[in-house]
Amino acid sequence: MVPLNWYLTVAALLFALGLYGALARRNAIAVLMGIELMLNAANLNLVAFWRYGEQVMALTGQVFAILIIALAAAEAAVGLALIIAVYRDRRTVDVEELDLLQG
């Protein structure tokens, strides 16, 4: 059986990738994708800890992961809708340009 650490390492790498994407990408869609990656990294963790935990029969990790997938879907929908709205207004999805909250 693959040790837990391997899962955790993969999840951490995946999270780091997602974080990088969310922070460094200019395209808003890419930022959204980065966020999705981070969410999935968390899912991976949850499922891994459930599988290696003591109450395997309780399916808690799976349920949690499914909930997050549903949430991620909703979030992606809202996020994409926002991006489309921003695009219609500003003709760009470059997050560098979207600095209306500047102090």
Residues 6+ apart with CB under 8 A from 53: 61
Taking CB under 8 A as the rule, which mask of x and - marks residues 34-73 in contact with other proteins?
----------------------------------------
User: Which of 11, 22, 42, 65 touches other proteins (CB under 8 A)?
Assistant: 22
Which CB, 2 or 23, lies closer to other proteins?
23
Residues binding other proteins (CB under 8 A): 19, 22-24, 31, 95-96, 98-103
